[in-house]
Amino acid sequence: MKTNRILVASVSAVLVLTALAVWSYGRPKSSSSFSTVTDPQFGTVIRDQLIIVFRSSTTPAQVNDLLTAAHVDVIKSVPEVRMWAVRVPGSTGIKDLKRAMELIGRYPQVESVQPNQVATLD
């Protein structure tokens, strides 16, 4: 049952991220518009961006406090689905992102955190 929830959350996250990209930039951009890195676990990701999903019980004040404490910059948010796209200042690649993911993932208010993955349409 937990696997099904994770799969549904992952599919939902991809759909929301696509909507974020269209909403943010007017149209999807190619990965060449961003500095990307490739990781065996996550594939191609934007080198300094994470997607954070907060638990439904998290208040807006808690979200703001956590983002401030994590020293990340908000790129876009979709509070209706509890999702924030953030920039990790100073990140130069996957090691920096994984370190930030580990730190942010320790907060009990965080449901999931992952790199902002780049999807391509072939």
How far, in Å, CA of 87 to CA of 116, rounded?
Answer: 10
Domain range list for the chain: 2-117
Q: How confident is the model at residue 119 (pLDDT cuts 50, 70, 90)?
A: confident
Q: What pLDDT does residue 34 have?
A: 76
| Percent over 90 (pLDDT), the chain | 60
Helices (H), 26-121: 60-69, 94-105
Read off the pLDDT of residues 7-37 as tens digits, 9 standing for 90 and up: 445 555 554 555 454 444 444 444 346 789 9
Query: What pLDDT does residue 5 have?
Result: 56
Q: Contact at 8 Å (CB) between 104 and 50?
A: yes
Q: Does residue 90 surpass a pLDDT of 50? A: yes
Which residues are CB-contacts of 60 (< 8 A; sequence separation ≥ 6)? 79
- The reported pTM is 0.73
What mean pLDDT comes out for the span 95-118? 96
CATH number of 2-117: 3.30.70.80
Residue 80 identity (one-letter amino acid): E
- pLDDT at residue 77 is higher than 90: yes
State the average pLDDT over residues 42-48. Answer: 93
